[in-house]
């Protein structure tokens, strides 16, 4: 665990207390049963906003606290333990990051306070179909007077049914640009996707959506650079959330190893299982180191952020997937039941891995950055 | 930490190093220059460097001057290490005595023993080896059988030690012996034996890497003075456990982040049209190893930070040691695979010296998960002490 200052300790303890009370895995189950399309519980999100979490990366002049990424990382790690679905990373990290990095004064004034207060949820409309884009954006933007027209499809867009604002990377004749598109823009059609876990994912179809000049967040040619930096931040926070899920999967499994009896003894006495547990513990520690180093680098504005982001996301992806798989295996039959939580961890492992580029994508990116 | 050191100390250190560190040793891998080995003996500059360091008291920076140290703080030591690293210098007094026995004696020896044995360790003049393992006592160290009988005015020792690193170059041996056969752990004593005593015979054992790094040590009617027991008769197990902790600390810390293998791979294998290492399968494994290696050194730095802040939640050393051996053994494999046919050489012409050395290093790396507590034993420790799983027996 990172060495924390007073402020960070208070945040962490606050998140711990709140999560125990308000965000057990049953919160996820409830959402699933409701079959709603938002993918998160707006009341819980409002409570999170009230505690200031949505404003942790927003400057004070826009109503935030600017506490930094390590602080936010502590919170998402805690929420990740019980898999609480919320657009905190999508909106309070990625969208806030994009506006801070590229927004002009008017755009920042218009959106940052609403994002900080939690009234507005904004998300990236990033992926276009099967894979995280590797620098090929199909959705096209064409000039139309002093504005633009957007056409194409984005899917899946997490929390796309509920978001009030989208940040949309689009291809232009002069390279990638980023646009701010209202959720109810004319010509934008949203259709809900049902995925293995609720996260309010949507297919967004842009049919000649007209936007004004004030919708241009990053001009053609500059969009990709901004997007890369935004994604680094999102990836690192996503990795922190995945670490939390992995820690919980491990602890739940460890508890089971200490209680379940077979052959007249506690199964945790079998050395084969002890060594698996010890190896998993080592993987968790390795992943924690990568995540915390990356969070610290964001706050220090280090120059190796892209490498550390890809390292953290790739390790977190592999570790959580392995942990969730072992969680099921070491629980035996009960782990296969819908009644048990293990399946949720496996599903989250897959969904979270696919968010902002999966482990394979980030291994390759790391390799390129490091000259392999 | 280094902030606590008085102004000017750093500059003094730098100046002294500049005047005294032999240029021929700069950036030499300190590993083969371990002060327990034959290479160190053969190199005149190394011997000179060791003498200078010893005279300065920097062979054991934090030890008291009467024990051969410089009586400085850890903060001073950190500054000295940093300044050394800056110019490719290293502490020539890395030895089993320094890593394991010295710190143990500081805690467990009586005053007379400290004055007698510590200066030789601090100055690097007396070399030690570790006589713990026996043919029948490896992981289950406490089952050791070397007999030590009280003969009134001396101890009489009979038995056999094995895997004793550096035994053929050592002057003294810190040994575990059995002074009571009726109890397992509680019958063990920690005994210091002069390797030149009659009845001590070290026979070198050749390793798979071709080196004779260690030896079997036969002890036949060896007479040892009564005052050579450390920590009391039948009290040796506690002393040994502490010493093994020091050993684990130094082993886990041994392998910081290693340099990228990408340039080597590109030189030997070439690049594809995209500038990538041409062998995609090997490339993938190199990437994985590099990522784990980096996360391993991040873990190391984190553990150090947390230990300093006293948060008490540091990653367990037993797990860190396993991560370290895993990462560096895989690296050894990858290097030899990169070298291809050039990684198959044993000695002589037709191979570059670096190639031959890499092959030997690969072979030697297999020991990382055996000594200092094997991979499996470390996992037992993690399971029991860290994860609180019940004993498997
Ligand atoms: C290069 C090198 C240098 C060394 N230097 C020294 C030295 O200077 N002084 C010294 O005293 N010793 C030294 N050793 C010895 C080393 O400490 C022992 O080799 C080690 O303790 C293992 O003991 P063993 O070789 O008898 O193997 P064993 O204990 O017989 O182990 C065989 C296998 O069984 C496994 N095993 C054993 N017990 C368990 C268990 N409870 N649960 C699961 N698996 C188990 C082990 O992990 C291993 O895989 C050195 C060894 C090497 C390789």
Question: Do the bridges between strand A140-144 and strand A265-266 make them parallel or antiparallel, or are there none, so unpaired?
Answer: unpaired
pLDDT band of B4, cuts 50, 70, 90: low
Nearest CA to ligand 1 atom 29: B139
pLDDT of residue B29 exceeding 80, the answer is: no
pLDDT of residue B149 exceeding 90, the answer is: yes
CA of B377 to the centre of ligand 1 (A): 9
pLDDT digits (tens, 9 = 90+) for A277-316: 999 999 999 999 999 999 999 999 999 999 999 999 999 9
pLDDT of residue B88 exceeding 70, the answer is: yes
CB A327 within 8 A of CB A347: no
pLDDT of residue B2: 47
CB A56 within 8 A of CB A63: no
> Which residue ranges does chain B devote to CATH 1.10.540.10?
3-94
pLDDT digits (tens, 9 = 90+) for B228-260: 999 999 999 999 999 998 887 777 654 556 899
How far apart are the C-alpha atoms of A28 and A76, rounded to whole Å?
15
pLDDT of residue A334: 97
Backbone angle region of B222, left / alpha / beta, with phi > 0 → left and psi within -120 to 50 → alpha: beta
Dihedral angle computed from the Cα positions of residues B75, B77, B78 and B82, in that order, rounded to the nearest 10 degrees: 140
pLDDT of residue B32: 53
pLDDT of residue B305: 80
Nearest CA to ligand 1 atom 45: B376
Q: Which residues of chain A have pLDDT under 50?
A: none
Residue among B247, B257, B330, B352 flagged as catalytic: B247
pLDDT of residue B388 exceeding 60, the answer is: yes
pLDDT of residue B393 exceeding 90, the answer is: no
Class (C level, CATH) for B128-243: mainly beta
Contact B392 A269 (CB under 8 A): yes
- B263 interface with A at CB cutoff 8 Å: yes
Average confidence score pLDDT of chain B: 91
CA of B127 to the centre of ligand 1 (A): 23
ipTM for the predicted complex comes to: 0.92
Residue B134 a catalytic site member: no
Which of these, B50, B70, B54, lies nearest to B62 by C-alpha position? B70
pLDDT of residue B1 exceeding 60, the answer is: no
Contact A282 B322 (CB under 8 A): yes
> Which residue ranges does chain B devote to CATH 1.20.140.10?
252-386
User: Considering its fold, how many domains does chain A have in total?
Assistant: 3
How far apart are the C-alpha atoms of B20 and B39, rounded to whole Å?
21
Does some domain include residue A1?
no
**Candidate of B34, B101, B129, B133 to mutate for ligand 1, largest count of ligand atoms within 8 Å of Cβ:** B133
Count Cβ atoms within 10 A of the Cβ of residue A68 and give its class: 0-12 exposed, 13-18 middle, 19 or more buried: middle
pTM: 0.91
pLDDT band of B308, cuts 50, 70, 90: confident
Query: Within this chain, do residues A235 and A215 fall inside the same structural domain, yes or no?
Result: no
* Cβ neighbours around A136 below 10 Å, total: 9
What DSSP character marks residue B382? I
pLDDT of residue B85: 87
How far apart are the C-alpha atoms of A67 and A32, rounded to whole Å?
33
Does some domain include residue A95?
yes
The helix/strand/coil state of B207 is coil
pLDDT band of B316, cuts 50, 70, 90: confident
Mean pLDDT of B324-346: 96
pLDDT of residue A364: 96
CATH number of B3-94: 1.10.540.10
Q: CATH number of the domain that A271 lies in?
A: 1.20.140.10
Domain span holding position A173: 124-220
Query: Within this chain, do residues A18 and A94 fall inside the same structural domain, yes or no?
Result: yes
> Which residue ranges does chain B devote to CATH 2.40.110.10?
128-243
Contact A286 B296 (CB under 8 A): yes
Query: Within this chain, do residues A277 and A318 fall inside the same structural domain, yes or no?
Result: yes
Query: Within this chain, do residues A238 and A361 fall inside the same structural domain, yes or no?
Result: yes
Domain with residues B252-386, CATH architecture = Up-down Bundle (1.20)
Last residue of a domain, one of A103, A120, A137: A120
């Amino acid at each position: 665990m990172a060495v924390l200052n007073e402020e960070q300790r208070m945040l962490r303890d606050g998140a711990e207390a709140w999560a125990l009370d308000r965000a057990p895995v049953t919160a996820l189950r409830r959402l699933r049963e409701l079959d709603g399309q938002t993918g998160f519980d707006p009341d819980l999100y409002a409570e999170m906003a009230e505690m200031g979490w949505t404003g942790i990366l927003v400057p004070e002049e826009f109503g935030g606290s600017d506490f930094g990424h390590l602080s936010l990382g502590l919170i998402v790690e805690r929420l990740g333990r019980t898999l609480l679905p919320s657009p905190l990373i999508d909106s309070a990290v990625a969208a806030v990051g994009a506006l801070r990095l590229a927004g002009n004064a008017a755009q920042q004034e218009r959106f940052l306070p609403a994002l900080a207060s939690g009234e507005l949820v904004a998300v990236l409309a990033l992926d276009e179909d099967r894979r995280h884009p590797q620098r090929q954006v199909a959705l096209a933007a064409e000039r139309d007077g002093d504005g633009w027209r957007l056409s194409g499809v984005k899917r899946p867009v997490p929390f796309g049914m509920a978001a009030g604002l989208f940040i949309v990377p689009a291809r232009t004749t002069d390279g990638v640009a980023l646009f701010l598109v209202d959720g109810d823009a004319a010509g934008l059609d949203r259709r809900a996707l049902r995925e293995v876990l609720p996260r309010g994912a949507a297919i967004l179809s842009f049919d000649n959506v007209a936007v004004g000049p004030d919708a241009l967040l990053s001009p053609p040619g500059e969009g990709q650079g901004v997007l890369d930096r935004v994604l680094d931040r999102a990836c690192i926070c996503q990795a922190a959330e995945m670490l939390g899920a992995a820690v919980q999967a491990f602890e739940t499994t460890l508890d089971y190893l200490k209680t379940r009896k077979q052959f007249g003894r506690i199964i945790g006495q079998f050395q084969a299982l002890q060594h698996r547990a010890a190896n998993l513990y080592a993987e968790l520690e390795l992943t924690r180191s990568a995540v915390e180093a990356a969070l610290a680098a964001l706050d220090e504005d280090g120059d190796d952020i892209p490498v550390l982001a890809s390292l953290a996301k790739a390790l977190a992806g592999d570790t959580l997937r392995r942990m969730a798989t072992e969680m099921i295996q070491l629980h035996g039959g009960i782990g296969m039941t819908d009644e048990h939580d293990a399946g949720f961890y496996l599903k989250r492992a897959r969904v979270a891995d696919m968010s902002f580029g999966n482990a394979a994508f980030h291994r390759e990116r790391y390799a390129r950055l490091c000259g392999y | 930490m280094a902030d606590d050191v008085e102004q000017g100390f750093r500059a003094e250190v730098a100046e002294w190093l500049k005047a005294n560190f032999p240029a021929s040793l700069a950036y030499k891998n300190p590993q083969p220059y371990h002060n327990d080995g034959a290479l160190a003996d053969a190199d005149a500059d190394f011997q000179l460097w060791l003498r200078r360091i010893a005279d300065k008291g920097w062979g054991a920076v934090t030890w008291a001057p009467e024990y051969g140290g410089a009586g400085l703080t850890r903060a001073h030591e950190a500054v000295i290490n940093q300044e050394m690293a800056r110019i490719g210098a290293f502490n020539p007094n890395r030895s089993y005595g320094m890593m394991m026995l010295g710190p143990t004696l500081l805690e467990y020896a009586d005053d007379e023993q400290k004055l007698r044995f510590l200066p030789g360790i601090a100055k690097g003049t007396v070399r030690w080896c570790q006589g713990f393992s026996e043919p029948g006592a490896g992981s289950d160290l406490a089952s050791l059988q070397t007999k030590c009988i009280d003969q009134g005015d001396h101890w009489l020792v009979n038995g056999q030690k094995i895997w004793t690193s550096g035994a053929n170059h050592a002057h003294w041996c810190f040994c575990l012996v059995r002074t009571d056969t009726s109890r397992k752990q509680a019958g063990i004593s920690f005994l210091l034996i002069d390797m030149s005593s009659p009845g001590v015979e070290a026979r070198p054992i050749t390793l798979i890497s071709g080196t004779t790094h260690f030896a079997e040590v036969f002890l036949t009617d060896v007479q040892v003075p009564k005052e050579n027991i450390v920590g009391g008769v039948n009290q040796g197990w506690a002393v040994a456990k502490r010493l093994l902790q020091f050993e684990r600390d130094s082993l886990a810390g041994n392998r910081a982040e290693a340099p990228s293998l990408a340039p080597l791979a590109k030189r030997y294998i070439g690049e594809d049209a995209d500038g990538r290492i041409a062998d995609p399968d090997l490339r993938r494994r190199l990437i994985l190893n590099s990522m784990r290696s980096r996360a391993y050194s991040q873990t190391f730095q984190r553990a150090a930070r947390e230990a300093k802040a006293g948060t008490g939640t540091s990653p367990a050393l037993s797990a860190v040691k396993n991560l370290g051996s895993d990462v560096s053994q895989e690296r050894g494999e990858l290097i030899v695979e990169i070298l291809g046919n050039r990684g198959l050489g044993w000695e002589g012409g037709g191979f570059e010296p670096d190639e031959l050395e890499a092959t030997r290093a690969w072979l030697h790396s297999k020991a990382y998960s055996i000594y200092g507590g094997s991979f499996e034993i470390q996992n037992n420790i993690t399971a029991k002490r860290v994860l609180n799983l019940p004993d498997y027996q």
